[in-house]
Structure 1
């Protein structure tokens, strides 16, 4: 039996993060050295760690830069680490995008571009097309974040309001060969969706983007709508000659990390099941669904026999319906909904966290919950149901002492959820 559930769950999170460590993942996917130059570009929450890992493994000349989020970053000697804002773009991100595009100018077929891409790159690489401004792209990003749209839909819109996304960075590098090494944070691991695919073209169209804007009732600047309706917003398709010979490798993903966590649990004598690594939907709704499974297992021994740890991944969403909202991210919101539905059911302990170590805009990766979480909140004058309605899960879990704060991890393979039922 597990005597310290939170230590056990934290160990599973650590195993999941370790499985997505950039060093080992990149080592297994090093390309052949070119006759010409090697230029490194990239962006994402794991960008600096990926750059440091690649630099340590590449025993030949190289140059380049990657864009990471503001905050602590890994040190590099040959690759410059630029920084910008997440989740709302800033001027530093605009400068970073410009620099990446400059780095791939004038290359030849003898040259090699290594693209190090991870989740978060969409916000870190603002690059509005001619006729639009950074303010327009910020407005698009804010509308997307509040819309409740899944990440795949968000990135269709983003890549058609950009000079760098949707394969445009790779297009600018032609005729050089491009090898993209990707840490996936998207359900299904479609490489074109990670960071809105700066080096990965796909077949989505501006019309698709407009349909998404309409479906999720987004209010965007009129200039953006005009741009999406113009032929200039279309990106080159995957069969364009500029992309010939390019290689794409998903080097780490949620599925691999969940398998590592399951193996860690079994080493400690606890059976483990993985529901899915691609669960999407409203965070609060997905929290209730997970709570129903955990309760059924705890009270009736179905669909799983206890003791067991139930694992899942993917990316939930939080739809902001008004301007009055609090602090928290999708994992904290998931868990507050979960905690309300397991209130008083003994033998259930849970952890929900973002594998990059930051959930939303605060310093926590997520939170812990058990049968007494909401009771501890109420004892401190916190109404958990009201805080859920206000999207203020951080305040609720801060009050109950249940926040999980491991710090930035240096990787990002999306949400990690572990439910221990004993």
Structure 2
């Protein structure tokens, strides 16, 4: 059973990732060539791969620039690829964002900006608003990441610290047409939220950003209001979401169903502290295992979204490994239950693993190895826990991103 369950979990993850790869989801959405210039821009963990697919599709030299995370680059023939820091922004990202704004300023009404965006794009385009420095943005981003703020809250703040996000890039490109093609990593798949929406009008406000910073006890810098719906500079801006977490969850579910598992898909909007979400998932697994509710086993419990971690310790580990360690402790060796949690971009937070694997004997093996799971969770050291057991999931950069993928198998 151990080998079969572990194989199934990895197959489901691979299928979820494959459904969101640019080669799979992008070509059908690429528009006809415009009558004049086509400018290809992009930002995110999938941006370089999206640019290469775009080049292959049109088969001609293309003008453009995309920025992706360090290590997530793909060689392109004519589109320039830059790599920059994520989740903390760096000077390379600022340079890329500056170049993009400069590139769109001389466009005309017959030109088209094709903006290829995916998860991670917000941190990769750190062009500070007037009066702010990159150091300011780095400090605020670092504090928000440590605070446990949700990605939605972080992106609202980012939009009001930026000279490119929240519709500002599309506004700078006016009167050119501006088409955003997005691989979504956000619950709800709102293109105005993906990468903080450089090509979309922004409905959030400076007042909301101030309230978020105030809630987490953080300093409130001077903020810049973003373009709103109805802004004439955004009349020719549109967006299409071409890959979603839900589509990837559904694809993974078909793999489990083919092997005789019932699928309970909790959707792609699960947020909150990773360890709190884990306790809820453990409660559901126990109910299924002991009472056959809400479904009798065998059940594959699938979910996506983006949890958060409030850093209190000094260990290593992203939100998926933290979720899984908390799940192991809450399940306490529940017979027959296996689980996998991973980030579909292949990098859990800032580590080199996508996530980790949990087995019914995880805690027993940990005790034998002298590992104190509760203490390591308190120290935010889930990476160290699963690394010591040999249960990290290592995929390397996948060059896509539809956020977290979690599955719990309950016999």
Range into which the TM-score falls when normalised by the shorter chain:
over 0.9
Equivalent position of 2:235 in the other structure: 244
**Does 1:227 find its partner at 2:222?**
yes
Contact 2:18 2:24 in 1 (8 A): no
Equivalent position of 1:150 in the other structure: 150
Equivalent position of 2:18 in the other structure: 18
Equivalent position of 1:409 in the other structure: 398
Equivalent position of 2:205 in the other structure: 205
TM-score by length of 1: 0.95
Between the aligned partners of 1:73 and 1:289, the Cα distance in structure 2 is 37
Equivalent position of 2:43 in the other structure: 43
Contact 2:305 2:404 in 1 (8 A): yes
- Structure 2 residue matching 1:41: 3-state secondary structure: strand
Between the aligned partners of 1:275 and 1:365, the Cα distance in structure 2 is 21
Equivalent position of 2:56 in the other structure: 56
1:79, distance to aligned residue in structure 2 (A): 0.9
Pairing partner for 2:284 from 290, 293, 310: 293
1:148, distance to aligned residue in structure 2 (A): 1.2
**Does 1:195 find its partner at 2:184?**
no
- Unaligned regions of 5+ residues in structure 1, if any? none
Deviations 1:33-66 (A, max 9, x none): 2111000111111111111111111245521010
Mapping 1:8-407, distance limit 5 Å: 8-60=8-60, 62-217=62-217, 219-220=218-219, 225-228=220-223, 233-321=224-312, 324-407=313-396
1:246, distance to aligned residue in structure 2 (A): 2.0
Between the aligned partners of 2:262 and 2:55, the Cα distance in structure 1 is 39
Between the aligned partners of 2:303 and 2:157, the Cα distance in structure 1 is 27
1:130, distance to aligned residue in structure 2 (A): 2.1
Between the aligned partners of 1:341 and 1:326, the Cα distance in structure 2 is 20
Between the aligned partners of 2:129 and 2:333, the Cα distance in structure 1 is 54
Between the aligned partners of 1:183 and 1:72, the Cα distance in structure 2 is 15
Contact 1:38 1:61 in 2 (8 A): no
- Structure 1 residue matching 2:26: 3-state secondary structure: helix
Contact 2:199 2:237 in 1 (8 A): no
Contact 1:23 1:50 in 2 (8 A): yes
1:121, distance to aligned residue in structure 2 (A): 1.1
- Unaligned regions of 5+ residues in structure 2, if any? none
Moved over 4 A (4+): none
Residues 3 and 319 of structure 1: is their aligned pair in 2 closer, same or farther, counting only changes over 3 Å? closer
Contact 2:344 2:404 in 1 (8 A): yes
TM-score by length of 2: 0.97
| Equivalences, count | 411
What is the CA RMSD across the aligned residues, in angstroms?
Answer: 1.3
1:238, distance to aligned residue in structure 2 (A): 2.1
- Structure 1 residue matching 2:29: 3-state secondary structure: coil
Equivalent position of 2:4 in the other structure: 4
Deviations 1:296-342 (A, max 9, x none): 11222111211121100000000124xx4210000000000001111
Between the aligned partners of 1:161 and 1:245, the Cα distance in structure 2 is 24
Contact 1:359 1:365 in 2 (8 A): yes
